[in-house]
Structure 1
């Protein structure tokens, strides 16, 4: 199989050889699954967009004035003039990471144990004018992850970044079949994004993580840069433990984050965004009612879409080239996905110079034939070492 040929697993063996297959290329079952996926995803997208709007409009009404416009202008100028390494500044070496054994809600880990990782993040907002306000989110200033380690390790490690509102370790464990990866010899690290899980100010939000949108888009921009910063601290930690290879995958907003990491972190052996968001300005315009609400806020405060689009480019994976070789990159996209529509995956595939691209039948959260792309992930990653040298 050519690493540049996108693949679509179907019962009759149809394989797409271009970026985005036409529905007419699919077999009858795949067409039926595609139609159902689109309908279910539109309903889910509306629900998620409503929650995002409910979280962002009150904060936006307060913050999207002259101060917010100035903050967005800073990010837009940074996006226009800076390299990825200048935006995603490398964290200091040697940040202390505290490990505590974990036992609750875990799958069976034969020959290994899970540890919860915690560290005080040294991140300061890239925009100097925002540093004091951003630092007030004290719970967000503590980084979290869960690390599944074999007793005879360190082993090659698969890192996973969750999607928006889906920080629960148990969900990502099941979704990515992580106990199987562990049983096959991989250590596993699950990373928590800013403002999600224990990093949020409250757990009473309708969607965990919605706080990432509730303080204005300038704060959202800083949170995305912060996400890359803190993940690199964990890469330092794994490297200090002697981990021989580190791979990364992520779902949805986690796919977006993993693609951002691929622009600066050349220590990674492979990066595999799954159902990734890649072009936020386009996506926000497609989400109803979020797009309408954001447009109204902009009109109210004199901030046009062009200004927001330019500011969001500061952390877009489409703004910078990857530092990972093309043959070590893979994109997984859903043909029926309407939260992160297929074009989002195609945009990244084209920007990355046509790496592997696997299309699954299904929606943003219903991934039919998931085993096919998990097998292709294993093919790309290669077999883990039984014991590190």
Structure 2
């Protein structure tokens, strides 16, 4: 893996016994407690026992910590109803051993994962182990929720990639990726509905996206068949009658609903305390634009042309949102993105020359590397069998890569933060974007992907970015 240092495999790790014994404890209670006891015990028990044994017998497989964390989290959650089946004492024991197994999953992940060149070393602690385990648990859920493509799907993708590669090269887009992105039309009269949620007044802005892939581009007709995705959506929180700076906030993978987006981006702080206006666009295939049961479904299925079109449309829609904002004010506008949103913030900074600042939080920087890191081994074998290598995929995604385009705003207006022990977006992704951005100010925090808000240095960086760029007086 690019940028990783090889670490020796640790045989017979002591932490393996914790999930192993926790799994045995769950399964020991099951036989004598009837059907309800069995149903409560079998999933966390099997996951914990299996992952504990795997830590001992198959060290080095990064999926082990994911399933250990998932089983432990289920164990803690199932312990409460288990109290009514096995009694208070036994229920508390099951909760305790499950919590210990959760920490053990984080310890194992920290032990097993190699460090990254140019990134500070993680400082081992139970607090950090708990944060890493939270990442591993979420990662297990994300990976399991992705519908696996078939061999025929992969063969179709390979044909599309071959055809698209020839087209992109002929058009000069691989050599100059910025040319792939067309300037969108102005956004003059979007539809705006007033909404209220949890005491917060906000507006739902929606409009016909108007984005279409280039004529005769592979995957074009399939992309246009996603009807829900044709309508762009954004949540707007603004001060009435006041000319305030704006912050465009870009959500992460599987987000895209007002309940989640407005909770993560804290309008109580940015809007009410700092006095800013906010606009939160929904990325393609997310939220109301989803094409499946789950927000974001289809984005990371290794369907390369869909992924390229999703990013191209994201840039198109966000640039239209910025046009709408700038028609109302001459105040500065900045962009702040998290995770997948950090990738989009970084890419937008390469296409819009007038942003006041770009804050990329725990940002993905290389889609291909993420897919090949987290993809199930069976899917990766099929990709290899049909001839779709990581290098071929990376070449085609140059047109949407923030590592291939250059940011248009000055170096001193670029900001990044990344988790040293991030398991969802490994630290080498953040490091590579930081290097491409000419090493601007960055905060490395001793934490994981989902815990950035718990670290004061991150919050200070965001505050400093907003003040230094003139978004906050």
The TM-score normalised by the length of structure 2 is 0.69
| Among 222, 227, 230, the residue aligned to 1:141 | 230
CA contact (8 A) 1:115 1:146 kept: yes
| Among 68, 73, 81, the residue aligned to 2:175 | 81
Runs of 4+ that moved beyond 6 A? none
Q: Does 1:40 align with 2:130?
A: no
Query: How far off its partner does 1:149 sit?
Result: 1.0
In 2, distance between residues paired with 1:127 and 1:302?
26
In 2, distance between residues paired with 1:210 and 1:60?
15
Per the alignment, residue 210 of structure 2 pairs with 122
Instruction: Trace 1:182-193 onto structure 2 (pairs within 5 A).
Output: 182-183=271-272, 184-193=274-283
Secondary structure class of the residue paired with 2:280: strand
Report the count of equivalent residues.
Answer: 352
In 2, distance between residues paired with 1:51 and 1:163?
16
CA contact (8 A) 2:238 2:277 kept: yes
Q: Does 1:210 align with 2:309?
A: no
Q: Deviations over 1:38-69 (max 9, x none)?
A: 333234323322333x2544883473253453
Q: Does 1:252 align with 2:346?
A: no
Unmatched runs of 5 consecutive residues or more in structure 1 = 1-17
CA contact (8 A) 1:114 1:149 kept: yes
* Aligned CA distance change for structure 1 residues 56 and 209 (closer, same or farther; 3 Å): farther
The CA RMSD measured in Å over matched residues stands at 2.5
* Aligned CA distance change for structure 1 residues 56 and 166 (closer, same or farther; 3 Å): farther
Name the structure, 1 or 2, with higher relative contact order (CA <8 Å, separation 6+). 1
Q: Does 1:302 align with 2:392?
A: no
Secondary structure class of the residue paired with 1:267: coil
CA contact (8 A) 1:318 1:348 kept: yes
In 2, distance between residues paired with 1:161 and 1:106?
21
Per the alignment, residue 198 of structure 1 pairs with 288
* Aligned CA distance change for structure 1 residues 362 and 179 (closer, same or farther; 3 Å): same
Q: Which structure features the higher share of helix residues?
A: 2
In 1, distance between residues paired with 2:118 and 2:331?
33
In 2, distance between residues paired with 1:56 and 1:269?
41
In 2, distance between residues paired with 1:246 and 1:217?
32
The TM-score normalised by the length of structure 1 is 0.83
Larger Rg: 2
Query: How far off its partner does 1:318 sit?
Result: 0.3
Instruction: Trace 1:1-389 onto structure 2 (pairs within 5 A).
Output: 20-23=119-122, 26=123, 31-52=125-146, 54-57=147-150, 60-61=153-154, 63-75=156-168, 79-84=173-178, 86-94=179-187, 96-103=189-196, 105-108=197-200, 113-126=201-214, 128-129=216-217, 130-183=219-272, 184-202=274-292, 204-205=293-294, 208-214=295-301, 216-289=303-376, 292-367=377-452, 369-382=454-467, 384=471
CA contact (8 A) 1:157 1:243 kept: no
* Aligned CA distance change for structure 1 residues 215 and 151 (closer, same or farther; 3 Å): same
Q: Which moved more, 1:184-193 or 1:94-103?
A: 94-103
Query: How far off its partner does 1:368 sit?
Result: 5.3
CA contact (8 A) 2:302 2:371 kept: no
In 2, distance between residues paired with 1:32 and 1:76?
50
In 2, distance between residues paired with 1:219 and 1:59?
16
CA contact (8 A) 1:100 1:116 kept: yes
Secondary structure class of the residue paired with 2:449: coil
* Aligned CA distance change for structure 1 residues 193 and 56 (closer, same or farther; 3 Å): farther
Unmatched runs of 5 consecutive residues or more in structure 2 = 1-116
CA contact (8 A) 1:55 1:213 kept: no
